Amino acid sequence: MKKLFIVAITALGFTFAAQAQDAATSTNGGQTAQGKWLIEANTGFGAVNAASTSFGLTSVDGETTWSLGAEGGYFVADDLAVKVGLGYQDQGNDVSAFTYKVGAKYYIASMIPVQVDYAGASVKDADENPSFLGLQGGYAIFLGENVSIEPGLRYNITMNDDAFSEDVFQFQIGFALHF
C-alpha cells in the first residue's frame, strides 16, 4: 500500500510539473527558448559586493560607492542561458574596479530563474583581486513578449579570503530584455 501511495504521489507531482511547464511556455511566449538572447540589468541591495555587475549606489559615513553594469546571455537550450557580464565600480578614495561575471542561468518551468556564476574584479592598485562563486534564485514576471522583471536573492561565496574575506548576501531586482 505504501508503494502504491508513493507511486501515485510521484505521478501526481510529474503531472503538475508538466502542466506548469505547459502553462509557463504558453504565457511567456517562448522568451527562454533555444536560440533567444537575453540582456539584463540588475539593481543590488544589501551588502556591497566587490565584483558586482549590477547598478548600485551606497553612502556610508560620507563615503559614496556606485556601480553600473549589465549582463548578456544566449539560450543554448530551452530555458538554459550561458551568460557574461561586465561592470565598473567607483568605491571612493580613488579606488575603482572593473568587474566581470561568467555563468549559466536556468529557468525552471520557464519562470523560476536559478543562476550559478563566477564573478571577479580588477581593483585599481590592489595586491589581490576578489573573486566569488555566485548562487542566485528568483521569479520571472514576464510583462510582454520581450520584457521581464526578476526579483531574487543572491549569495556570493568568497573565493579569495586575502582580497575579500566575507561572503555577501543580496536582494536583487533584475530587468531583462528577451529577443
CATH of 2-178, one of 3.40.50.720, 2.40.160.20, 3.40.50.2300, 3.40.309.10: 2.40.160.20
- The residues of the chain scoring below 70 in pLDDT are 1-29, 46-50, 163-165
Per-residue pLDDT, 16: 43
Per-residue pLDDT, 47: 59
- pLDDT tens-digit map of 13-33: 444 444 445 544 444 569 999
Per-residue pLDDT, 56: 86
Per-residue pLDDT, 52: 81
**E runs forming strands in the chain:** 37-46, 56-60, 63-77, 80-90, 96-108, 112-123, 131-138, 141-142, 147-158, 168-178
Per-residue pLDDT, 18: 45
Per-residue pLDDT, 91: 82
* Structure-block grid coordinates of residue 146: 520581450
Handedness of CA 25, 31, 36, 41 (dihedral sign): negative
Q: Which residues contact 166 (CB under 8 A, 6 or more apart)?
A: 47, 158
Short-list 25, 16, 10, CA closest to 107: 25
Per-residue pLDDT, 165: 67
Per-residue pLDDT, 69: 94
